[in-house]
Amino acid sequence: MTAHEVSRGYEIVVGLEVHCELATNTKLFCGCANQFGSEPNTNICPVCLGLPGSLPVLNERAVEFALRVGEAFNFDVPERSVFHRKNYFYPDMPKNFQTSQYDEPICSEGTLDVDGVTIRITRAHLEEDTGKSTHVGGDGGRIHGADHSLIDYNRAGVPLLEIVSEPDIRSAEQAARYVEELRATLLAIGVSDVKMEEGSMRVDANVSVRLVGATEFGKRCEVKNMNSIRSVRRAVAYEAERQIDLITSGERIMQETRHWNEDDGRTHSMRSKEEAFDYRYFPEPDLVPVEPTAEMRSLVRSQMPELPAAKRERLIDAWAITEHDARVIVDVPGLAEYAEAAVAVLGGGTPKDIVNWLTGDFLGFLNETGTKLDDSNLRPAGLAELVGMVVGGSISRNQGKDVMADALRSGEAPVAIVAARGIAQVSDAGALSGVLEVVFAANVDALDAYRSGDDKMKKKKRGFLMGEAMKATKGDGNPQLLNQLLDQMLEAL
Amino acid sequence: MTAREIAAAVRTGARSARSVLEEHFARIDVREAELHAFNYLMREQAFGAADAIDSAVARGEDPGCLAGVPVAVKDNFCTRGVPTTCSSKILEGWTPPYDSTAVARLHAAGAVLVGKTNLDEFAMGSSTENSAFGPTRNPHDPSRVPGGSSGGSAVAVAAGFSAIAYGSDTGGSIRQPAALCGVVGVKPTYGSVSRYGLVAFASSLDQIGPFAVDVGDAALALEAVWGYDPMDSTSLDATMDSLSDSLDRGVAGLRVGIVRELTEVDGIAPEVQARVAAAAEALSAAGAKVDYVSVPSVSYGLSAYYLIAPAEASSNLARYDGVRYGRRDAGADVATMNSATRDAGFGAEVKRRIMLGTYALSAGYYDSYYGKAQKVRTLIIQDFARAYEQFDVLLTPTAPTVAFEFGSKTADPLAMYLSDVCTIPTNLAGHCAISVPYGTAEPTSGATLTSDGNPKQLPIGVQVLAPALGEATMFRVAKAIEASAP
């Protein structure tokens, strides 16, 4: 069972800390653009540079986004939350304190259902991101031994939401699924673009192990630097096994921070808790408490979209599709809406046909060409037309694939493509009988084997002959009709 | 000439801003070398601004309520393109790329900035002796301090270098030097003047306010800069009652409470107590109902202040690390560079307060120090609220003594801190207060003799306190006190 993994008598205990950058237009405390990939130090001002005399002003949109998160994960959003200063020195942090939230976060006590298991979320709080250092020269981009360091403050002050789970996760797979579900939900409610590879979503895992049945937690290690959901799964699995190895060989676990290395597939010690900072948290005197108004709360509530889990359930019921297909449709932003638009104008066929075409060639094309869904040349109505033609038998499935590829490339309507290229499925019984006669003549051995063989052999040879016939029609033959004729001719042997 | 008279004359074209400015610079040229009120004189910019105002008047435009008024601002106000040092070596070479809101409003009101005034480093001190660029001297007796931390601004007004000046008041840094220099000084309600662009010392206590030669000018000066600013989250979005319009309404029927804990206690010099009593009598004679009131928790104000202010300062001053601006002292790695820069860049008092504040916020000590100080702060607010149920304004001395001699308190930080015992409670409560000159006295010891052999008389200030946004009433009382001043 993936939700509760036991290894050598030990169970895995995981809590996840997820930082996600909020996709607001401007930074958390100033009007600078919140934009990834700008020229270094172009989205900066006295406030996000922490110049003497500058003061923060809270971005209301970030509060609105936090309220959306509150709705999505059943958080308690209190009347009032407070910003604190987290004090420590780091060159890419302009004020040498981070404005964050401490004992009065904006969201507390939420939940997320992961494959039927409820994972409790302790809190979600707002804070500002730091700048980014680049270390030049010396030992491979690290600060120690570097000739000099360059700092880009474009990211300084970008709004972050830190979402901290309870240690309720019991397997590496469940940890990965939690992140997947969290990411899909954050994406659906439009608060973040959650790109782990660009750092707009960062995951740290607190991993410990304990004997099955134990009530106390083991010493935990915090694993950092996981850049994909796959690496969350691998890193947690590795770290748990590492700890079990240590314990079973009589050693003790040190509470420490460990760095996941994607290349060697291991975690490496970064620093132990003995070096932990005293952050000297105290309430940020330059900001007033966050007190979302009733109007803001009801506005947010009224604008909440359908959440991924609910949408999957609805589509599975309504369209009779698999859990897997529902997940694919719902996880790609906008794809469910696309599918629903196509289903709405469907002439022939079922919603499941639409879904099959979408999850197959359609997504394949978008991924291969790097096309965004919104920019795709084939619109929902075109897809419905195409499915209608295939299901109705006027073109074959293979022809349909060609037409789709053509439509995606050219932007022409499928009906127009079919008409212009004269594509049609061969449904003429006389012509198809002729094809079968030629195939029979060329495969006398197969016919002999069919005649003398048992049921299994008959089935095998029948399949072979059908394939040869399809090949001879270049895939244009109407498969139902061809099957019917083949059966007649085999019976007549 | 008062600021009111200057603005009126310049607006009507009766006087040119240039000629007003020339008069002020003439005084600066005579006495600035001795007094050292300024860290930076903006002579060239000032004459340019004065000429622009004169041209505007010539075109028939109104340059604003401070048209042509020479103004000095404390050197912890950010001024675009003009060095801002906070009297600290750590900001050496830094020039702000932006104007503080107060400075922007002064420009918009037609004021002429003459320079940036000296202060105790990062506004930490009560004598201006903690400036990295040398102390400012009291114009009434240059062997004595002008008070602090806004000593330079107090002296600029007292010596006629500028018609009005602005400072910041965290625990008395406007009112105490105003008292010691014989000028009016105002600490407005917290949030009434934007702090945007004021280099922070203790964010929850800092407030910008004016110095002026009289109460009327102080009202004009405050009205020119106050009001809501979206750049400061703690800025009050409230309607302010006009000060200038109500100044002369008198005090008949107003209830005035003399705060017992800050007046008739040890440490307040008898000549200061006598001046407060005289002011109370004058108010009573003018029709106010005067009585004593007890505000018990103010006795703990100083202790609470010296936990809260250093705690906030330890965090506010963390940004001076040599990475982005100001001074940098070389080090083998970042942490060593940070330490070397801060060691060489900060003076002793700033380091003392950073250490105090860091300690007060440390894990395990927070509750017993910072946490407890915040509770005291709440108690003070509650006690004041009770007092204001019975009284419209409160009366206390501004400073315990007249101006003291250089070096007399530098070796004993606690003695220095006691200079602010009467002013600190107002900052902790977020209320407003004003210091009004009320006569003079000779110091109890070490008096300088005048040419005719008499001891030099030094100014004394009395303080009027009012609740948050109570400025209009406070100014009326201040005006009445001024009218009866000896």
Question: Using 50, 70 and 90 to split pLDDT, how confident is the model at B104?
Answer: very high
Tokens of A33: 């653009």
Q: What is the mean pLDDT of residues B292-305?
A: 96
Confidence band (pLDDT; 50, 70, 90) for B62?
A: very high
Confidence band, pLDDT 50/70/90 cuts, at residue A482: confident
Q: Which of A193-202, A272-281, A436-445 has the lowest average pLDDT?
A: A272-281
Q: For residue B313, what is the nearest residue in chain A, using CA coordinates? A: A285
Which chain B residues are closer than 8 Å to A83 by Cβ? none
Q: Would you give the distance in Å from CA A212 to the centre of its chain?
A: 32
Among B206, B208, B337, B361, pick the best mutation site for testing chain A contact (most A Cβ within 10 A).
B361
- Interface contact flag, B325 A55, Cβ < 8 Å: no
Chain A residues with CB-CB distance to B under 8 A? Answer: 46, 49-58, 85, 87, 89, 91, 94-97, 143-144, 149, 151, 278, 280-282, 285-288
State the DSSP code for A273: G
Across the interface, do A89 and B338 touch by the CB < 8 Å criterion?
A: yes
Contact by Cβ (8 Å): A189, A305: yes
- Residue range B31-41: mean pLDDT, rounded: 98
Active site residue B368: no
- Is B3-246 assigned to CATH 3.20.20.70? no
SS3 A163: strand
Provide, rounded to the nearest whole percent, the portion of chain A with pLDDT above 90: 66
* pTM: predicted TM-score of the whole model, two decimal places: 0.89
Q: Which chain A positions have a beta carbon within 8 Å of B78's beta carbon? A: 51-53
Highest mean pLDDT among A91-100, A444-453, B237-246: A91-100
Q: What is the pLDDT of residue A141?
A: 63
- Residue range A293-348, pLDDT digits in tens: 999 999 999 999 999 999 999 999 999 999 999 999 998 888 999 999 999 998 88
With 70 as the cut, is the pLDDT of residue A450 above it?
A: yes
Tens digit of pLDDT for each residue in B137-196?
A: 999 999 999 999 999 999 999 999 999 999 999 999 999 999 999 999 999 999 999 999
DSSP collapsed to 3 states, A374-404: HHCCCCHHHHHHHHHHHHHCCCCHHHHHHHH
Q: Which of B173, B194, B314, B419 is catalytic?
A: B173
Catalytic residue selected from B87, B127, B131, B149: B149
Query: How large a percentage of chain A has pLDDT more than 70?
Result: 97
Q: Do A46 and B94 touch (CB under 8 A)?
A: no
- What are the pLDDT digits (tens) for B404-452? 999 999 888 888 899 999 999 999 999 999 999 999 999 877 788 888 8
In total, chain B counts a number of residues equal to 486
Residue B149 annotated among the catalytic residues of the structure: yes
Domain boundaries, chain A: 6-300, 308-421, 429-491
Contact assignment for B203 to A285 by CB distance below 8 Å: yes
Structural contact between residues B438 and B463, judged by C-beta atoms closer than 8 angstroms:
no
Q: Which residues contact B44 (CB under 8 A, 6 or more apart)?
A: none
Which residues in chain B touch residue A85, judged by CB atoms under 8 angstroms apart? 315
Q: Residue B435: which of B222, B175, B194 has the closest Cα?
A: B175
Radius of gyration of chain A (CA): 30
Residue of A nearest to B98 (CA): A46
Can you tell me the distance from the alpha carbon of B133 to that of B75, in angstroms, rounded to the nearest whole number? Answer: 12
Closest CB to B318: pick one of A46, A97, A143: A97
The yes-or-no verdict on residue A273 having pLDDT over 60 is no
For the segment B25-39, the average pLDDT, to the nearest whole number, is: 98
**Tokens 């060697």, residue located:** A264
- Residue-wise pLDDT for A454-465, tens only, equals 989 889 989 998
* Per-residue pLDDT at A425: 74
Catalytic residue among B74, B116, B187, B479: B74
Q: Which CATH architecture has domain A429-491?
A: Orthogonal Bundle (1.10)
ipTM of predicted complex:
0.96
Candidate from A108-112, A143-147, B385-389 with smallest mean pLDDT: A143-147
Cross-chain residue pair B315–A89, CB shorter than 8 Å: no
Q: Are B225 and B106 in contact (CB under 8 A)?
A: yes
Whether B409 sits among the annotated catalytic residues: the reply is: no
Output A477-480 pairs: Cβ under 8 A, ≥24 positions apart.
A477/A396, A477/A425, A477/A426, A477/A432, A477/A435, A478/A393, A478/A396, A478/A425, A478/A426, A478/A427, A478/A432, A479/A396, A479/A397, A480/A393
B183 vs B138: CA distance, rounded Å: 12
State the pLDDT at residue A1: 41
Total CB pairs under 8 A between chain A and B: 99
Domain ranges of chain B: 3-246
- Name which of A57, A87, A97 is nearest B233 (Cβ-Cβ): A57
What's the CA gap between A214 and A216, in Å, rounded? 6
Better-predicted residue by pLDDT, A363 or A273 = A363
- The pLDDT-based confidence of A272 (bands split at 50, 70, 90) is low
What's the one-letter identity of residue A355?
V
User: DSSP string spanning A42-93?
Assistant: -S--TTTTT-TT------HHHHHHHHHHHHHTT-B--S-B-EEEEE---TTS
- Smallest Cβ–Cβ distance between A282 and the set B91, B98, B361 belongs to B361
- Using the predicted structure, report yes or no on whether residue A139 has a pLDDT greater than 80: no
What is the spatial distance between Cα A310 and Cα A336, in angstroms, rounded to a whole number?
12
